Amino acid sequence: MPPRLGGWDTASMLLGDLMRIVSLLPSATEIVGALDLGDMLVGISHECDFPSNITHLPQLTSSILKHGLSPKEIDDAVRRATFEGRPIYAVDGALLSALKPDLILTQGVCAVCAVTEQTVEASVSLLTPDQVCSAPVLSLEAHDIEGIITDVQTVANAAGVPERAARVAADMRTRIGPWHTPGTRRVAVLEWPDPLWYAGHWVPEMLAAAGGFDVKGQPGAQSGRLTEDELIALDPEVIVMGSCGYGLEKNLAFASAFAASPLRAKLRSLDAVWAMDANSFLSRPAPRVARGVEVLRAILHGGTAPSPHEAIRVPSSPPA
């Protein structure tokens, strides 16, 4: 099994001047790009799509979920796989070995969202002796904004360029601003449309930084299911559809369906439903959450409107 990085004095890992990095996590790939380490990437996951200049790289992962499933069908399939103890993702161990990485990046926050360290270990364990992959696995563990900034430093340290993290961290802190004191605008960020899930982890802090108050999610805590009755009782003023794993187009479709549903008419204080590009600005613990805060700030308080590629307000009729 590949060793797990426990400390970050990794200068001895560098082979010459250029490390070979495999990222099995979209947010890790984004961090690598933000640190100007893209030339070190040799392999990515099937979900890695940013920065755009890495999408030509070999993809080492696949999902057990079929294309074209509805959110409800995806939820059912994930629950079934979890009950049966099957991972959602598979890693091509032979390709991983052939790429000869010096460092493998993955995560330990959510087995549904991306490849976990355990899946990497299981894939490597099936390799033949001539395919052994002994590269260290660095599992990123961010649950909140501070954790995301820590992950940036962790990746920089592991790649032997610790000084590069300061620039990224400073930009994030400046753009996000204070995030520990919520505002007064009552907001529900829906992480999944059917069944309803509310967002957790870093998203409540993003809302606080934007001047909002998350009616359900708690900073650093996991996301969770939300019944219609619970949402009605929470009575949000704004709903942001930010379904995990989807960009703006799909979230706009989900938000439009929600705005036309009978549930919307039961939300007394609701005055705005928005769709947001969750993949870019909400779901992934990476530097672009700073832009996500700016988008949320514009949604909640006006000013410069978000780009139509970032977020769109859904027309809806007020309750009768």
pLDDT of 11 reads 43
* 18-27, 66-75, 204-213: range with highest mean pLDDT: 204-213
Assigned CATH topology for domain 178-314:
Rossmann fold (3.40.50)
**% of the chain exceeding 70 in pLDDT:** 85
CA-CA distance, 65 to 73, in Å (whole number)? 9
Q: What is the mean pLDDT of the chain?
A: 87
The amino acid that residue 217 corresponds to is: G
SS3 letters across the chain: CCCECCCCCCHHHCCCCCCCEEECCHHHHHHHHHCCCHHHEEEECCCCCCCHHHCCCCECEEECCCCCCCHHHHHHHHHHHHHCCCCCEEECHHHHHHHCCCEEEEECCCCCCCCEHHHHHHHHHCCCHHHCCCCCEEEECCCCHHHHHHHHHHHHHHCCCHHHHHHHHHHHHHHHCCCCCCCCEEEEEEEEECCEEECCCCHHHHHHHCCEEECCCCCCCCCEECCHHHHHHHCCCEEEECCCCCCHHHHHHHHHHHHCCHHHHCCCCCCEEEEECHHHHCCCCCCCHHHHHHHHHHHHHCCCCCCCCCEEEECCCCCC
Assign 66 a pLDDT band (cuts: 50, 70, 90).
Answer: confident
Q: Which of 95-109, 192-206, 245-259 has the lowest mean pLDDT?
A: 95-109
Whole-model pTM: value is 0.88
d(CA 280, CA 30): 10
Q: What is the pLDDT of residue 86?
A: 79
Q: Has residue 116 got a pLDDT over 80?
A: no
- Contact between residue 120 and residue 251 where contact means Cβ atoms under 8 Å apart: no
Domain positions in the chain are 11-172, 178-314
Q: Do domains 11-172 and 178-314 have the same CATH topology?
A: yes
CATH superfamily of 11-172: Nitrogenase molybdenum iron protein domain (3.40.50.1980)
Residue 129 pLDDT more than 60?
no
User: Using one digit for the tens of pLDDT, what is the confidence trace for 190-230?
Assistant: 999 999 999 999 999 999 999 999 999 999 999 999 999 99
pLDDT digits (tens, 9 = 90+) for 164-197: 999 999 999 999 999 999 999 999 999 999 999 9
* Cβ contact 198:190 at 8 Å: yes
| Nearest CA-CA partner of 142 in 110, 109, 171, 117 | 109
pLDDT above 50 (res 10): no
Which CA distances in Å does 123 have to 45, 131, 134? 14, 11, 12
Residues near 290 by Cβ (< 8 Å), separated by ≥ 6?
A: 171, 172, 175, 176
